[in-house]
Structure 1
Amino acid sequence: MEEYRLKGLSCPNCAAGMEQQIQKLEYGESARIQYNLGKLKLDERVNLDQVEKILASDHASLIKEEDEPGHSHEHNHGHSKMKIYLGISTGVFILALLLDGMGSIPAVPFYLAAIILSGYQTFIKGLRNLTKLTFNIETLMTIALIGAVSIGEWKEGTLVAILFGLNEYLEGLGMEKARKSMESLLKIAPKEALLLQDGIEKTVSIHELKVDDLVLVKSGAKIPSDGEVEAGYSSVNESAITGEAMPVEKRTGEAVFGGSINNEGILRVRITKAYEDSSLSKILHLVEEAQETKTPTELFINRFSRYYTPIIMLISALVMLVPPLFFNGAWGESFYQGLAVLIVGCPCALILSSPIANISGITRNARNGILVKGSVYLEQLGKIDTLAFDKTGTLTKGTPYVERYEMFDRERFLPISAAVEKHSSHPLAKAIMDKVNDFSFTEKEASHVETVSGEGVIAEIDGEKYWVGNEKSVDHVTMTSTIQSTIEAMKQDGLTLVIVADVTSILGVFGISDEVREESTSVIRNLHALGIKNTVMLTGDHEQTAEKVASRVGVRSYYAGLLPEEKVERVKQLTREGKVAMIGDGINDAPALASADLGIAMGKGTDSAIETADIVLMQDHLGKLPEAITIAKRVNRTIRLNIALALGLKLIALLLTIPGLLTLWIAILSDMGATILVTLISLTILWDKKKDPKPSVQSQTEPQHS
């Protein structure tokens, strides 16, 4: 499939019509016009001349991006041309009004010139549609303008033509603004890389880079693709990936993301992924694709619009015929009112009520490092009332640390612990080593190290046998009441125990915990303030640990000791009670994420997180989740308001037909006013007010558990 950039595309109905025509061409069955992105995807075998003719019929054209590598994507030629025509036609209209008032020179030719200048595109499309018996916006306007001219309403007919042209111009400008906002996001992708081969620097396209290539990234340059620092030290701006403004220090051996910016110094980076497989490439592709998914609201509007225009035409015919035939009304007046109804029936504002708002919401979230994979997921995010959290790595950091320790044999406890654990890769062993390295002691070496499944490690040191593990591993030791009470106290506090013992006695105990993320408590509080009714923690950990974390972060309920399949069942149960989003790390929580109404993964750009969930928090923390929900709720509110405005203004205009007060210019103003309001209100979503949701004044309840 070839991808082309379109210019002059300003009408969703027209885009759909052109797509249908292109699909009728040979090899054109798979053709797809992405109106929101201004793109056309096309089988390379389709005759481009025929495609150009179809596009030209609606004053659109295509540009093959590969043929213009420096192409800036600025396509305002059509808007500028339309603006000039509207300006000239407005001047001619004012001249016609002056001449009409003087009465000495006929004003009709000037009215006609103004109509042609501002509405010729509409006439051409409308007349072509009439020959095909296709009824859409242009058809309605063409019939209305021909009708106005035929009954001598030159002044109002001209005003309608100018206002409709202005409406079309503003509609296209609004969509172009939304597209540009998205394009500015997509432009973060690097274009070139400085490849190092045999010590020689060579500038190449990022698409030429291969895995294991070595690139040089100078100060201020973008890292071309995902890789690993082979040499150098610098701070890197990863906001393109994570949305975080603070730079991240990078040293030798650390991973870097393509699209992030090297702030200072020089880095040598070994490429680990071709650009097409990089995190940035996947993110940008998914964000682009997200624009074209249809929400239930949009699908309803599309279905409604199919019946809306014929219904309006029927109402218009009734307004024209019923009063004169049955109530002795004047034919001229009824005909005029019927034409006004046709103009009111233009569904421009209704069609635009959703797409611009959704594009703005997805773009705004993407800027914050929150990847929403489609408008449908954005709509669902704004409707959820229950959030289920995995504990480890989500509410907690997922990195064990020693929270408390007790030494009963000060001489041997630390040296024995270090000797046994220093060669282990187990997370608990790492936590112990992080703690014992804070002390100075004479190091020892362990021999005959044996791992006992489900218990711990047995080793020999200086000819003596030692045990390091859980309570089962030290069953051979008789504990004193002091030691027993210490162990019980640690267990009550939800700590995981690692006990160090010799053949006859306990040397000491480590109490290990998974550290709660700093932002978890405030995030949960803000979520409750946003109207999330139920926050639930699901974990495989034991009851005491679960209770400790739940109490600290403020979730309203928790379920402990869950196996992966039990997590899935619990999520399914929650979905029967409300709209549920499940938040996990995108890897081991995949089944639970898939079972929820909405899956949200934390992954900081990892492939598994991007591929698993419907929404990805690229920061690898929950800090921006409340803002994402706030944006989603705002998008949903905006769409509802837009629909109410679009239909409400038209309803008011239609009601004016009852007393006979509806005029052509009031009709077009009602349509144009709704379109302008809908567009402007939708674009306000892009504004970043930088306001965190305020916590509610209601008291936090103690978490409930099962």
Structure 2
Amino acid sequence: MSDSSTVKTKYRVGGMDCASCATKIENAVSRVAGVSDVHVSVTAGTLTVSHDDGLAAGSVEKQVQSLGYKVAKAAVDMPEKHVHSPACSGHDHRDHDHDHDHHDHAGHSHGNPVKVKPASDGHAHDHFDLGDGPWWKTQKAKLTIGCGLALAVAYIIGHFMRDLGPYVFVAAMAVGLVPIARRAFMAARTGTPFSIETLMTIAAVGAVFIGATEEAAMVIFLFLVGELLEGVAASRARASIKGLTDLVPKTAFLDIDGQTKEVPADSVSVGAVLMVRPGDRIPADGDIIDGSSSIDEAPVTGESTPKRKTVGDAVFAGTINSDGVLRVKVTAAAADNTIARVVKLVEEAQESKAPTERFIDRFSQIYTPAVLVLGALVAIVPPLFFGQAWGEWVYKGLAVLLIGCPCALVISTPAAIAAGLSAGARRGLLLKGGAVLEGLRKINTVALDKTGTLTEGKPKVTDVVGLSKSPADVLALSAALENGSSHPLALAILARAKDDGVVVAAATDAKAVAGKGVIGVLNGETLYLASPQAAAEKAALATEVTARIQAFNDEGKTVSVLLVGDQVAGFLAIRDEPREDAAAGLSRLKAAGIQTVMLTGDNARTAAAIGKTLGIDVRAELLPEDKQRIVRELQGKGRVVAKVGDGINDAPALAAADIGIAMGGGTDVALETADAAVLHGRVVDIANMISLSRQVMSNITQNITIALGLKAVFLVTTIIGVTGLWPAILADTGATVLVTLNALRLLNVRFDKA
């Protein structure tokens, strides 16, 4: 546990485009007095520093600026109070005591949010120019263009005045080399002696001494071009996730006593009511309190088909209201809405390195010095011991330094990880770090909760049976008894009545009968909606009726019998139904060779019925510790287990699993408990998450092969004298560009259709 006096300060960094940049910044800032920990996210362009209260003002900024990067404190606005999202909110229950199958959800409990010291003393600096504008306006672009123009001038002068050629090429080279050499010197001073800039500086200066001034100037220019392309690629990756924030409109229409007022969207508070017009983007997370409309969630979830939503349904900021006027009650402030939380979680995840990335980092720390030694041996050994020409072998040694630049190798893994995390986030798949993304590919067993994971978590009326009354009358009278109640079974009955277009009256003197049901009066008749056992105490149930009720029970359905006076009017069957995509999602997992099992606290009969419908093995009537024990048992058999649940009472099993995946609509619990979260509650997204992991790891393998393969080829061709300095730097720059472009393909990753 960190010391209570330790605080975190967050900065935005401009011009940071690859993992080697991050390494230099980490090494430099770690040396600042008072700093205890440093995390750098290249894709997010952020630097997070843990330090004590005695940190000298401006010391971190000075250290970062000395390396040639722009830096500014970022305004951090962490909420002091937890804001509940729709799925966290409790229900107001009437005094109804329905007898129904329990669901395996415990009460919600939330950990305290992490607190971060505002980095700007109340002043936001996010508007500072950190070089994140159009690529041609960046410092790197200006330097590259300047060096290119100087090289062009050198060629013109060298063509007409050959005696001046070597000198003008040295001058052209100096345009680009001086900033590079300065960065190499500052990196060496702050803990990174074997940087890419160091290799470039030695190679360029050495080329001048052996008279290869034209090639030295071209090498520097090509290196700058490569860095510029890296920057463009990094900006694209960064924009891919930050572009989500642009989905949220800047203004909202606040509804105050029937009057609308346009206000900044980020000023809207929880509990406020917004009016959303057809065609507008929804400005905040909330619940619909009036109206219905098709909601296009494609910008957030990737779903191509709009969803019909009405009163009581939750909507997300950034989604599009297609065809109806809605009034929406805000459930999360701007800083805590779904999109803001997604962006924040992804940025935090990108600071967490995958095992492969950590290995590559460690390897590169050995690799770069080894390249220097190899280059020196190539330059010295043949002339010194075998009588070869010094100029030829020094030239080859310098080419080896350029071939050995670790740019492509170092960026091969983090570029793919960052692109994978961003691609997942844009599809509602949140993974808390590269280690999670990498680990998912090894999963061969998925254990799933039932309620709220495989099922909707909300009971639905599946069957209405009329006996002495018609089915429509049974539904109408049952709804009259439940009118105004917020009990889950009551809501199911009222929702079915609304869907069927049934006009619902309100029964009088409605009250609960403890442990049995609810009773009331409508049009002078006594209505009683009760469990079959309670109903049988007041009226005899025919044998065929009892048989039908038993058949529904065998299907895992709860039956409520309606009595009108002492006559059995009919009954309703209610069940928490599987999600629409549950069967398809499980089929996708099985097709991928992954074993599935349901772990639920629900009763065995209900669980077995759902399991039979979905074709999944079932373990029922489990306590939280039982779920954890079963996960441990599976692991003991050599299985790599992912546990999928709601992130609350499944916490022990989620913690025990190799990967814990929370299922749910962006609640604090769902996003903070597990290693990953399926934001939009689709079972098929579990298979998509594993597929994404496998695609990312395949991409990383391709990248490492490209990086090392090209270096190996050009190392051989250089030693045997086929290629020289230009091809060497083209090989490094080309490999870096290829690796980066290959990683960026993941931003457009496609999943199989459910």
Tell me whether the two structures share a fold, i.e. TM-score over 0.5. yes
Match of 1:59?
Answer: 68
Kept after mapping to 2: 8 A contact 1:415/1:443: no
- Aligned partners of 2:326 and 2:511: how far apart in 1? 44
Match of 1:578?
Answer: 639
Post-superposition shift, 1:224?
4.2
- 1:7 maps to amino acid: G
- 1:147 maps to amino acid: G
Change in CA separation of 1:401 and 1:655 when aligned onto 2, cut-off 3 Å: same
- 2:694 maps to amino acid: K
Deviations 1:330-357 (A, max 9, x none): 4443333322222222111111102221
SS at match of 1:187: helix
Q: Does 1:107 align with 2:165?
A: yes
Match of 1:88?
Answer: 149
Residues 621-640 of structure 1 aligned to structure 2 (within 5 Å):
621-640=682-701
- Aligned partners of 1:24 and 1:57: how far apart in 2? 13
Deviations 1:99-151 (A, max 9, x none): 6xxx9534201321232233332222335556788222111221222222222
Q: Does 1:526 align with 2:588?
A: yes
Match of 2:712 among 633, 651, 674: 651
- Aligned partners of 2:386 and 2:295: how far apart in 1? 78
- Aligned partners of 1:380 and 1:391: how far apart in 2? 24
Change in CA separation of 1:486 and 1:9 when aligned onto 2, cut-off 3 Å: closer
- 1:5 maps to amino acid: R
- 1:593 maps to amino acid: L
Match of 2:43 among 15, 20, 36: 36
Q: Which one is further off, 115-124 or 127-136? A: 127-136
Residues 263-342 of structure 1 aligned to structure 2 (within 5 Å):
263=322, 269-342=328-401
Kept after mapping to 2: 8 A contact 1:5/1:64: yes
Q: Does 1:674 align with 2:683?
A: no
Q: Does 1:368 align with 2:427?
A: yes
Change in CA separation of 1:404 and 1:230 when aligned onto 2, cut-off 3 Å: closer
Kept after mapping to 2: 8 A contact 1:420/1:446: no
Post-superposition shift, 1:525?
2.4
Match of 1:161 among 206, 212, 220: 220
Match of 1:140?
Answer: 199
Deviations 1:179-223 (A, max 9, x none): 122221233344444556788876655554444445555565554
Change in CA separation of 1:473 and 1:311 when aligned onto 2, cut-off 3 Å: farther
Residues 539-550 of structure 1 aligned to structure 2 (within 5 Å):
539-550=600-611
Match of 1:563?
Answer: 623
Q: Does 1:10 align with 2:22?
A: no
Change in CA separation of 1:415 and 1:598 when aligned onto 2, cut-off 3 Å: closer
Match of 1:390?
Answer: 449
- Aligned partners of 2:475 and 2:275: how far apart in 1? 45
SS at match of 1:601: strand
Deviations 1:457-516 (A, max 9, x none): 486999999893255985999987655654554444444444678999988665443323
* Number of equivalences: 685
- Aligned partners of 2:503 and 2:156: how far apart in 1? 95
- Aligned partners of 1:436 and 1:509: how far apart in 2? 14
| TM-score, with structure 2 as normaliser | 0.78
- Aligned partners of 1:6 and 1:347: how far apart in 2? 22
Deviations 1:608-655 (A, max 9, x none): 222223322232333444433333221111111111221222223333
Q: Does 1:451 align with 2:510?
A: no
- 2:69 maps to amino acid: A
Change in CA separation of 1:463 and 1:17 when aligned onto 2, cut-off 3 Å: closer
- Aligned partners of 1:445 and 1:471: how far apart in 2? 24
Q: Which one is further off, 291-300 or 8-17? A: 8-17
SS at match of 2:446: strand
Where does structure 1 lack aligned partners over 5 or more consecutive residues?
Answer: 695-706
Q: Does 1:593 align with 2:593?
A: no
Kept after mapping to 1: 8 A contact 2:510/2:518: no
- Aligned partners of 2:43 and 2:505: how far apart in 1? 68
- Aligned partners of 1:126 and 1:484: how far apart in 2? 85
Kept after mapping to 1: 8 A contact 2:525/2:564: no
Q: Which one is further off, 111-120 or 652-661? A: 652-661
Residues 88-237 of structure 1 aligned to structure 2 (within 5 Å):
88-92=149-153, 94-95=155-156, 98=159, 104-128=162-186, 134-193=193-252, 205-206=264-265, 208-215=267-274, 217=276, 222-229=281-288, 236-237=295-296
Residues 498-509 of structure 1 aligned to structure 2 (within 5 Å):
498=560
Change in CA separation of 1:253 and 1:410 when aligned onto 2, cut-off 3 Å: closer
Change in CA separation of 1:567 and 1:421 when aligned onto 2, cut-off 3 Å: farther
- 1:38 maps to amino acid: G
Change in CA separation of 1:526 and 1:597 when aligned onto 2, cut-off 3 Å: same
After superposition, the CA RMSD in angstroms is: 4.3
- Aligned partners of 1:198 and 1:189: how far apart in 2? 25
Post-superposition shift, 1:554?
3.7
- Aligned partners of 1:330 and 1:478: how far apart in 2? 111
Kept after mapping to 1: 8 A contact 2:497/2:504: no
- Aligned partners of 2:173 and 2:179: how far apart in 1? 11
Kept after mapping to 2: 8 A contact 1:195/1:201: yes
- Aligned partners of 1:679 and 1:510: how far apart in 2? 59
- 1:107 maps to amino acid: G
Deviations 1:392-437 (A, max 9, x none): 2322233334445666666999499839963775544555666789
SS at match of 2:580: coil
Q: Which one is further off, 27-36 or 630-639? A: 27-36
Post-superposition shift, 1:85?
2.4
SS at match of 2:194: coil
Match of 2:105?
Answer: none
Change in CA separation of 1:234 and 1:505 when aligned onto 2, cut-off 3 Å: closer
- Aligned partners of 1:527 and 1:601: how far apart in 2? 17
Where does structure 2 lack aligned partners over 5 or more consecutive residues?
Answer: 1-7, 75-123
- 2:66 maps to amino acid: S
Change in CA separation of 1:633 and 1:569 when aligned onto 2, cut-off 3 Å: same
Match of 2:84?
Answer: none
- 2:579 maps to amino acid: R
Residues 435-514 of structure 1 aligned to structure 2 (within 5 Å):
450-452=513-515, 456-457=516-517, 468-469=530-531, 482=544, 485-498=547-560, 510-514=572-576
Change in CA separation of 1:266 and 1:63 when aligned onto 2, cut-off 3 Å: farther
- 2:43 maps to amino acid: N
